[in-house]
Amino acid sequence: MTGSAPPQVVYAQPAQTNRDAEHLRLLSIFHYVLAGIMALFGCMPFIHVTLGILMVRGALQNSAGSPPPPAMGWIFVVMGSVFILMAWTVVILLLVAAGRLRRRTHRTFCFVVAGISCLFMPMGTVLGVFTILVLSRATVKTLFETAARPA
Tell me the pLDDT tens digit for each residue of 28-80: 999 999 999 999 999 999 999 999 999 888 877 766 677 778 889 999 999 99
Give the pLDDT confidence score for residue 9 in this predicted structure: 56
How many structural domains compose the chain?
1
Contacts of 87 (CB under 8 A, 6+ apart): 38, 39, 41, 42, 45
In a domain, 3, yes or no: no
In a domain, 126, yes or no: yes
Q: How many C-beta atoms surround the C-beta of residue 62 within 10 A? A: 8
In a domain, 4, yes or no: no
In a domain, 10, yes or no: no
Give the pLDDT confidence score for residue 43 in this predicted structure: 94
Half-sphere exposure of 93 (CA within 13 A, CB side): 19
Which residue, 54, 52, 122, 126, is CA-closest to 83? 52
Is 7 a residue whose pLDDT tops 60? Answer: yes
In a domain, 2, yes or no: no
In a domain, 87, yes or no: yes
In a domain, 119, yes or no: yes
**What angle, rounded to 10 degrees, do the helices at 70-103 and 46-57 form?**
160
Overall average pLDDT of the 117-137 stretch: 94
Which residue, 39, 38, 36, is CA-closest to 121? 38
What is the pTM for the complete model shown?
0.81
In a domain, 130, yes or no: yes
User: Residue 136 is which amino acid?
Assistant: S
Range(s) of the domain holding residue 94: 15-146
Half-sphere exposure of 8 (CA within 13 A, CB side): 6
